[in-house]
Structure formats: structure tokens, C-alpha cells
Amino acid sequence: MRHFNWKLTLFTVLLLPLLVYLGFWQLQREQEKRETQLSYDLKAAQAPVPLAQIDWQAVEDIAWRRIETTGRYDNDRQFLLDNRINQGRVGYELITPLQTDSGLLLVNRGWIAQGPDRQTLPDVSVTDEGVSIRGTVYVPGGDIMVLGEEEPAGDNPWPRVIQSLDMAQMSALLDEPVLPYSVRLDAGAPGLRQINWQPVTLSPETHRAYAVQWFFMAVVLVILFLLFSFRRPEN
């Protein structure tokens, strides 16, 4: 006579749906990443459009859209987006306001290395002359991960270290409205430091591999349940 193992049954009932859900969620993320990469590739091949023609309400259309504009960088008020890793080195992404005829545009000038310590900020100077730039509109996807708290500004608040691209917060710090999304500079654009971004952080293949792992764990769980859910009582 075999003995019913209710503990293992309860464990399986609770864990199996979670494993299956995580597997399908990773497959969904894989599809989203493929669509993002496809959209990026299609728009990267298109000619840039003038900034004045951008409809900022059409979020799906403007994501990864290439633009061109002229203006002047605000050398005195710049942001350092914290916790940016490039080739194993810690640094920032440099966000500089660009005054244009269409409004104040926040321009991502690329990665810059952190100083010898947190109190020593890097040199972020840029030309005060008028510039013509080309870049890609960046629309963040999903929730923004914040890895630290905002640091007090101190006596000299600029450049200001920030933890996320919070446009409302940055507008408040600048004390004037900014355009809804930032722009990442093209290679060779004036003011660019070092490009360290890509359209997707994890490849679609990585999400597929994660999905296989979750489904494999679900299969193993079912096998273990069938093997051990019923056992003979010990003498």
C-alpha cells in the first residue's frame, strides 16, 4: 500500500503554475525584443526628420526615430545619469540640455567615466557655439530601475547627478519645460563622448534560453511529483 504525500502535492500545485508562467513570460519578452530590434533597424535606415516635425504624442511612431536639429548646448546645467557601466567600468551617461527653436531638448551625449571618487565629478564641458546634431529619440520601455537615491545638490548643483531619466524632475531642476523624450546622439555628432547604448539590453535569444530553463524546471517538477507523491510506508 502506498502513502499519499500531501506536502509534495501542495508544493507542486503552488510552484508548477509559476514555472509555466515564467516560461511563457520569457517567450513574450523575446517577441517584444524582436519587435523592438526590428523597429530600431527600420527607423535607423530612414533619413532623419527635422525636430519641429516630431509629434511627441505619437509615442509608438517616434520611438527610435532619427531627428536632426540645431541649437546651443547649455554648458552650465548638465546631468550625470548614474550607474552606467561600459566595458566593466563605472560611469555616467551625460545629459545636456540643447536650446532649439522647438524647445529645450535633453541630449544624451554618451558615456563618461566616473572620477576617482564620488565627490570628484568628471569634466562635462561642451562647446558654447551653435551646433547641428543628429540623433535617435529614446522612449524608455517599462519601469525604470533606480539603483540609488538622489544626492543633495550642495553649494554647486551642476552638473547634477540623477538616478533616472525623470523628465518632470529634470524640468523642475532646470526651472523650465523640456521636450517629452531625450535624444541619443549619432556617431560623429558634436558633443558626443562615447556611445554605450543599444536598442535592447538582453537579446531575444537570451529570453528564449530563460524560457527553456523555466519549462525544463516545470518538467522536472512533474517527474519528481510522479515519482515521490506516492510512497510505501516505512516498516
What is the rounded CA–CA span in Å between residue 199 and residue 36?
A: 7
Do the domain assignments include residue 123? Answer: yes
Contact present, 181 and 139 (Cβ < 8 Å):
yes
- Does residue 191 form part of some domain? no
Residues 180 and 70 in one domain: yes
Length of the chain counted residue by residue: 235
With a cut of 80, say whether residue 40 has pLDDT above it: no
> Is residue 156 within 8 Å of 77, Cβ to Cβ?
no
pLDDT band at 43 (very low <50, low <70, confident <90, very high): confident
Residue 109 counted as domain residue: yes
Angle, alpha carbons 183-186-192 (nearest 5°): 85
User: Cell 539603483 sits at which residue?
Assistant: 147
pLDDT digits (tens, 9 = 90+) for 131-152: 999 999 998 875 444 444 555 4
Indicate whether 117 and 45 sit together in one domain: no
Same domain, 107 and 46: no
How many domains, the chain? 2
Q: Are 148 and 138 in contact (CB under 8 A)?
A: no
| 24, part of any domain | yes
Tell me how far CA of residue 48 lies from CA of 40, 132, 193, 198, in angstroms.
13, 12, 21, 18
Residue bearing the bigger pLDDT, 34 or 71? 71
For residue 131, what is its C-alpha cell? 551646433
State whether 179 and 209 are in the same domain: no
The neighbouring-strand residues paired with 84 are 91
181 plus 216 within the same structural domain = no
Half-sphere exposure of 104 (CA within 13 A, CB side): 16
What's this model's pTM, rounded to 2 decimal places?
0.70
Task: Please give the pLDDT value at position 173.
Answer: 93
Q: Which domain holds residue 217?
A: 1-50+199-235
Q: Are residues 87 and 118 in the same domain?
A: yes
Percent of the chain's residues with pLDDT above 70: 86
Residue 89: predicted pLDDT = 86
Do 71 and 141 belong together in one domain? yes
